[in-house]
């Protein structure tokens, strides 16, 4: 199975940086699903998955699946350094109702092409569930070349969707599709959505990111697929400044959560320690960027 369209990576809400706030999680799910996305992704990197314990991981996935209630697909992050743990995460995701798991190559001192391919093969053999291959070298520590990603798609039929976050993503998208040949591969961009229109032009099937205005992503992809490329680009480029500001390394998750808080779906925009805390200067800059964006997009920015 290949996935296409818009998949929103969910934030994990906390109460004052402490316990998981399931009520806010339900609210953000409703906002995002209501925006018309094809699916949501729980336990992504920007969902602060590395700061969750095992019980919290299950709580988040169970809450998300129940709240989505079949209105969209649910993909669950299941990356782990060890194959056994990755298989356990995947089995749990399947038992809770996930449509797929997203998996990065395991971090290892001597990771190579064969060990990466074998990791995905072993996972596919162990659990009958679609796999989204996450290509994000800063997390895995391993850069997957287009030929390797195409090989995984050819040899592991359940792993034919790629979340591509290794820039330049439009260029790499073209190379992956060329290497895949007749194999049906779906590439989803990430990186905050800042290259979405260029990725679509290169042949991407959609996007998977946590941008706090998923309506924009849905609008861009819908217009582009309808052949209204200029209109899609017009919507996209009006929001690029906000996407860029939100995706700042180190502090981007705190910015994104603050935007969701302002949208009324998070009671608290805090990240869990040692996550960043917004300072007065960043908050002021966010105010200005939101004001400029509102001025650019006009009153009917997601209509029609």
- What's the pLDDT tens digit per position in 30-86? 999 999 999 999 999 999 999 999 999 999 999 999 999 999 999 999 999 999 999
Q: Is the pLDDT of residue 163 over 70?
A: yes
pTM exceeds 0.85 for this model: yes
Query: What is the span of the domain harbouring residue 32?
Result: 5-297
Instruction: Quote the pLDDT of residue 302.
Output: 41
Residues 110-119 have pLDDT tens digits of: 788 999 999 9
Whether 11 is in a domain gets the answer yes
Whether 132 is in a domain gets the answer yes
Whether 50 is in a domain gets the answer yes
**Cα-to-chain-centroid distance, residue 8:** 6
Whether 303 is in a domain gets the answer no
Q: What angle do CA 101, 75, 139 make, to 5 degrees?
A: 60
Q: Is the pLDDT of residue 141 over 70?
A: yes
Q: Would you give the DSSP letter of residue 165?
A: -
What CATH number is attached to the domain comprising 137? 3.20.20.70
Kindly state the average pLDDT of the residues 9-16. Answer: 96
> Three-class SS of residue 97?
coil
Peptide bond between residue 168 and the one before it cis (omega within 30 degrees of 0): yes
Kindly state the average pLDDT of the residues 79-108. Answer: 96
CA distances from 294 to 31, 126, 135, 239 (A): 19, 49, 33, 9
User: How many independent structural domains does the chain possess?
Assistant: 1
Instruction: Quote the pLDDT of residue 140.
Output: 85
Instruction: Quote the pLDDT of residue 50.
Output: 93
Instruction: Quote the pLDDT of residue 79.
Output: 96
Token readout for 302 is: 């997601």
Find out whether 223 and 43 touch, Cβ atoms under 8 Å. Answer: no
Token readout for 105 is: 């190559």
Whether 272 is in a domain gets the answer yes
Whether 285 is in a domain gets the answer yes
- C-alpha to C-alpha distance for 203 and 62, rounded to whole angstroms: 34
Whether 304 is in a domain gets the answer no
**In 8-103, alpha helices (H):** 22-34, 54-68, 83-96
Whether 204 is in a domain gets the answer yes
Q: What's the pLDDT band for 107 if we cut at 50, 70, 90? A: confident
Instruction: Quote the pLDDT of residue 295.
Output: 81
Instruction: Quote the pLDDT of residue 304.
Output: 35
Q: Is the pLDDT of residue 278 over 60?
A: yes
Kindly state the average pLDDT of the residues 260-288. Answer: 94
What average pLDDT does the structure give for the chain?
94
Instruction: Quote the pLDDT of residue 109.
Output: 59
């Amino acid at each position: 199975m290949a996935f296409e369209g818009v998949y929103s990576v969910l934030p994990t809400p906390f109460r004052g940086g402490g316990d998981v706030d399931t009520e806010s999680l339900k609210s953000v799910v409703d906002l995002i699903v209501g925006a018309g996305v094809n699916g949501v992704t729980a336990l992504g990197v920007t969902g602060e998955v590395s700061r969750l314990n095992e019980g919290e991981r299950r709580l988040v996935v169970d809450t998300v699946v129940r709240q989505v209630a079949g209105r969209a697909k649910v993909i669950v992050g299941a990356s782990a350094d060890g194959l056994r743990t990755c298989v356990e995460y995947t089995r749990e995701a399947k038992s809770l109702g996930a449509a797929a798991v997203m998996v990065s190559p395991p971090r290892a001192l001597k990771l190579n092409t064969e060990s990466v391919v074998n990791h995905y093969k072993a996972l596919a053999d162990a659990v009958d569930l679609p796999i989204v291959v996450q290509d994000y070298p800063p997390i895995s520590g391993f850069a997957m070349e287009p030929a390797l990603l195409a090989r995984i798609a050819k040899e592991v039929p359940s792993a034919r969707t790629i979340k591509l976050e290794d820039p330049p993503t439009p260029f790499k998208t073209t190379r992956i599709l060329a290497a895949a040949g007749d194999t049906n591969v779906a590439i989803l961009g990430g990186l905050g959505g800042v290259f979405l229109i260029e990725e679509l032009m290169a042949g991407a099937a959609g996007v998977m990111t946590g941008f706090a205005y998923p309506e924009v992503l849905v609008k861009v992809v819908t217009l582009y697929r309808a052949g209204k490329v200029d209109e899609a680009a017009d919507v996209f480029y009006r929001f690029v400044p906000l996407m860029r500001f939100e995706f700042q390394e180190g502090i981007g998750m705190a910015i994104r959560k603050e935007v969701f808080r302002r949208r009324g779906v998070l009671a608290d925009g805090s990240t869990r320690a040692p996550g960043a805390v917004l300072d007065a200067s960043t908050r002021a800059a966010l105010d200005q960027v939101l004001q400029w964006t509102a001025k650019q997009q006009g009153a009917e920015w997601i209509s029609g």
